Amino acid sequence: MTKLLPSWVESANSATTDFPLNNLAYGVFRTEADALHCGVAIGDMILDLTRMEADGKLDLPEANVFANGSWNGFMALGAGVWGKFRSILIEALAAGSTQQDELTNYLVPMVSVTMAMPFDVAEYTDFYAGRNHAFNVGTMFRGPENALPPNWLHIPIGYNGRASSVVVSGTDVRRPWGQLKGPDMEAPIFAPSRRFDLELEMGAIVGQPSNGPVSVQQADDMIFGYVLLNDWSARDIQAWEYQPLGPFQAKATATSISPWIVTKAALESFRTSTPEREKELLPYLQEPGPMLYDIALEVGLAPNDAAETVIARTNYNEMYYSAAQQLAHHTTSGCPMRVGDLLGSGTISGPEKENRGSLLELSWGGKEPLTLDSGEERSFLEDGDTLTLRGAARGNGFRIGFGACTGTLLAAIDRQ
């Protein structure tokens, strides 16, 4: 098994840090001058690549790759550059590196900066690819015998979301207004959502474009990295609007992502296979090898001025369809994929109650409220609740983490 790679940045050598030398997550941060800089996480520090590039310290095939405070330009350079650049960073930051004295001048403490969106989201597609989640939700509304739609075991189901609603961790989310079923269950009312929810997901970032259908292997090659993703969902708005075309305004409020992109290369040793198929997939969706990852995940909920309660723990390896399968299916119509496209995995739930990645499942539609450590109960989110998603792949004496993905729910706008 891969072991911790020692670094001259001492904080990167801890078994508890999210950002050892094995990781080298990519992000964007604001400086004191409010400029956006691209950086690499190493322990509790950030290596400022924008400054290094401006000082002529980076050798890249194009100029000003990091000048705009976004990783899109780097992603566009392709997988060959991604791999070479990672190797250069590992050598430069490794214990005993001859570059230590020079690079120390480009380190910035994480605690001194504000994180920003790590890339410009071109398009956003969210999937419904977790079997446990799909079965739980289907059971609530249709009973266990009809829980999964006939197509679910054959196809990664998804919908096109709003790229403009994707926000970075730490951004507040405001409770949305919308049409809800009225008291007579027919005529609707217009009111703030009363059943606002989280969804624990992973997001895959497309780093290379496509101009036609691609195979599952080609799709995997196109993926640059992964983020934690919270697909905030207004369940009552969704219940009224979703027939016949599926989610719309219920999913348009916000989608929060972690500020750090963990590259596919950093996760390579944590690959694992998707589960055994109940129905054989069509050839174009069959995987040539392990395409999922063993990433432990958890959700914390902290009410106003109260301590956090961990309300769910699960693992990314519970997904029925991998991001590569989702991406390959997305291209079958000829739909072009672009650098910076974001694919949400769908809610990640495990087989037990404590593994459920949404309050809809945890409270079973509100019938079984959760009791938090503070003594408060929750069926759905209340104003002032802060949600925190965490995730990490766990190695031998190290972890590959994503940092926290947080968001606080604010009260709906007063329309009176």
Residue 344, token pair as written in the block? 């949400």
Residue 401, CA distances (Å) to 141, 150, 356, 408, 413 in order: 36, 37, 21, 22, 35
Residue 391, token pair as written in the block? 């995730």
Residue 140, token pair as written in the block? 């609530």
For 192-210, the three-class secondary structure string (H helix, E strand, C coil) is ECCCEECCEEEEEEECCCC
- The SS3 of residue 233 is strand
Using a 10 angstrom Cβ sphere, with 0-12 exposed, 13-18 middle and 19 or more buried, the burial of residue 108 is middle
Distance CA 103, CA 106 (A): 5
User: Which residue blocks in 152-271 are alpha helix, DSSP H?
Assistant: 216-222, 235-241
**Per annotation, catalytic residue among 133, 154, 329, 330:** 133
Q: Would you mind telling me the total number of residues written for the chain in this entry?
A: 416
In degrees and rounded to multiples of 5, residue 19 shows phi and psi of: -130, 65
In the residue annotation, 133 being an active-site residue is answered as yes
**Quick check: bond before 20 cis, omega within 30?**
no
Tell me the Ramachandran region of residue 116: left when phi exceeds 0, alpha when psi lies from -120 to 50, beta otherwise.
Answer: beta
Distance CA 402, CA 393 (A): 9
Within 8 A by CB and 6+ apart from 215, the residues are 284, 328
Q: Which of 63, 67, 62 is nearest to 48 (CA)?
A: 67
Within 8 A by CB and 6+ apart from 341, the residues are 121, 122, 123, 124, 125, 205, 206
Task: Give helix then strand counts, H and E, for the chain.
Answer: 9, 27
Do the strands 166-168 and 255-257 form a parallel or antiparallel pair, or are they unpaired? Answer: parallel
The sheet carrying 107-109 orders its strands as 107-109, 45-48, 36-42, 26-30, 114-116
Instruction: Let me know: does 14 contact 43? Beta carbons within 8 Å.
Output: yes
Q: Which residues are catalytic?
A: 133
